[in-house]
Amino acid sequence: MESQESLRDIAKEGLDWIQKNRSKGVEVEIYISRAKERGAEFREGKLNGIQYDSSEGVGVRVFKDARIGFASASKASLERIKELYAQALAHTPYLEEDAYKGFPRPVISKENGAWTKTLKDRSLFEEDWEILFPRLEVMQQMALKVPRVVSALRAGYGEMESEVAIENTLGVSVYESGTSVSAGLSVMAKDASEVQIGSAFQSSRRKEALDFKKIGQEAAERGVCLLGARKIPSAARSVIFPPMVGVEFLEIVSDLLCADQIQKGKSLLAGKLGAKVAASQVSLMDDPWMEAGLASSLYDDEGLPTKPKTMMDGGVLKEYFYDSYTAKKEGRLSNGCASRGSFKGVPSPSSSNFYLKPGALSYDEIISRTSQGIILIEVMGMHMADPISGEFSVGASGLAVERGRVTHPVKNAMISGNILDILKGIDAIGSDLTFFGSAGSPTFRVESLMVA
């Protein structure tokens, strides 16, 4: 990323000043991030706007007397770091003491990081829009070729480049950078007086990985497939989660595995390490070393080395996500899962590239082996599942399956149960692992849930 002064140099300059001016017993951490992005949007086939944006900021945490003060501001410079250090230090006397607070000492990563070259596409921001626009046109035209698709409502494309530098007075010193690119399409499908909206998107570290034709085809299929939907009788049915819906469920599970939620008693998986909480074929992985993964990184947001983790193995809960604070509360080491939303926030545990390990079945094979079920196309309210009890009741649309074949679209269905019901009820897993952002899922089937 082009800049007048490198992020790493600013962070090191700030740390040098702090090392010379801090009082005894005071430790300091500097976190600086910078990003630039550009994007274009089409509405109903016409260019609606082009956007360029950039952001830069610094967060400073100061540890003194078992307390951590924090201050942040946009733009990064030595003078700004001095100001934030003074503000954060001034806050500390008013904060509550906590014996588990503090900053980590450096740990050298054992991974050589050769895969990190897959995290950056140096061609981004190089091509003119006149070259990029035809690809968006291909995406829209692909969808419009599908019968009953009447309009390409919105097509979007975006590129981003970002970098982070972290320094602390205990010796942590890391720098990482990467890129991301995304494209998406929403279409309108119509049959007589009925209208349905379908959408699809892809994101990647590298532009060459985007399949614009596939995005157009999938958006069209998702719109058309629900035309003519009707209610189905209430019954316990098999429920098939395609990748896009499966990811919505897995994102809930990843939150339940965060140590801060466990320690606050806000997760139904609290106290279940070593217990069987899912079906035997369920293994959940978290891999920050995945090539081209959107959440891949050698270091977490405290500057500690990351590592691949098996969170569930054969249905048995093996691990939680820890940062240094939550790890210290349990007398263990962090497993490199500290994450920040931006320079304005402080770290907390989170997943990286989190996914359900794929099986051997194809999507069609799962359907052919389903006697009575529903394939979920849209789910409304999954994020509102109770994290403590696990209870949920969500609205859904999808496709009915009878005797191994799709029969008709379904609307206004309600699916209820418990998160553990889903985990324990998974009886078929597909081979079609697909990532949406930093979470990935293959198609999977839950043996029985109440569908009304």
| Domain residue ranges in the chain | 7-40+49-112, 115-162+174-224, 235-451
User: Can you say whether the dihedral through the CA atoms of 305, 306, 312, 313 is positive or negative?
Assistant: negative
Q: Are 197 and 186 in contact (CB under 8 A)?
A: yes
pLDDT in tens, the chain (452 residues): 444 579 999 999 999 999 999 999 999 999 999 999 999 999 999 999 999 999 999 999 999 999 999 999 999 999 999 999 999 999 999 999 999 999 999 999 989 999 999 999 999 999 999 999 999 999 999 999 999 999 999 999 999 999 999 999 999 999 999 999 999 999 999 998 899 999 999 999 999 999 999 999 999 999 999 999 999 999 999 999 999 999 999 999 999 999 999 999 999 999 999 999 999 999 999 999 999 999 999 999 999 999 999 999 999 999 999 999 999 999 999 999 999 999 999 999 999 999 999 999 999 999 999 999 999 999 998 888 999 999 999 999 999 999 999 999 999 999 999 999 999 999 999 999 999 999 999 999 999 999 99
Q: Which H or E run contains 439?
A: strand 439-441
**Main-chain dihedrals φ then ψ at residue 117, nearest 5 degrees:** -65, -20
Q: 426-429 and 434-436: which strand pairing? A: unpaired
What CATH number does the domain located at 7-40+49-112 have? 3.30.2290.10
In this structure, what is the dihedral angle of CA atoms 34, 322, 351, 363, given to the nearest 10 degrees?
170
Tokens of 13: 């300059």
pTM: 0.96
Tokens of 220: 């069209």
Q: In sequence order, what are the beta bridge partners of 388?
A: none
Contacts of 21 (CB under 8 A, 6+ apart): none
* Lateral strand order in the sheet of 194-204: 67-74, 46-64, 27-43, 149-168, 173-191, 194-204
Q: What share of the chain is helix, strand, coil (3-state, %, to 5)?
A: 25, 40, 35
Distance CA 355, CA 304 (A): 22
**Main-chain dihedrals φ then ψ at residue 240, nearest 5 degrees:** -100, 125
Distance CA 415, CA 75 (A): 47
Alpha-carbon distance values, 54 to 31, 33, 174, 285 (Å): 17, 11, 22, 33
Q: Which H or E run contains 327?
A: helix 324-329
The fold of 115-162+174-224 is: PmbA/TldD fold (3.30.2290)
Angle, CA 62 vertex, CA 61 and CA 66 arms, to 5°:
120
Angle, CA 206 vertex, CA 200 and CA 212 arms, to 5°:
35
**Main-chain dihedrals φ then ψ at residue 282, nearest 5 degrees:** -90, 120
**Main-chain dihedrals φ then ψ at residue 263, nearest 5 degrees:** -70, -25
Alpha-carbon distance values, 317 to 260, 266, 274 (Å): 17, 17, 5
Closest CA to 300 of 122, 63, 439, 104: 104
Distance CA 70, CA 60 (A): 6
Tokens of 261: 């939620």
**Main-chain dihedrals φ then ψ at residue 260, nearest 5 degrees:** -65, -40
Q: Can you tell me whether residue 213 is helix, strand or coil?
A: helix
Distance CA 80, CA 14 (A): 9
Q: Would the CATH topology of 7-40+49-112 be identical to that of 115-162+174-224?
A: yes
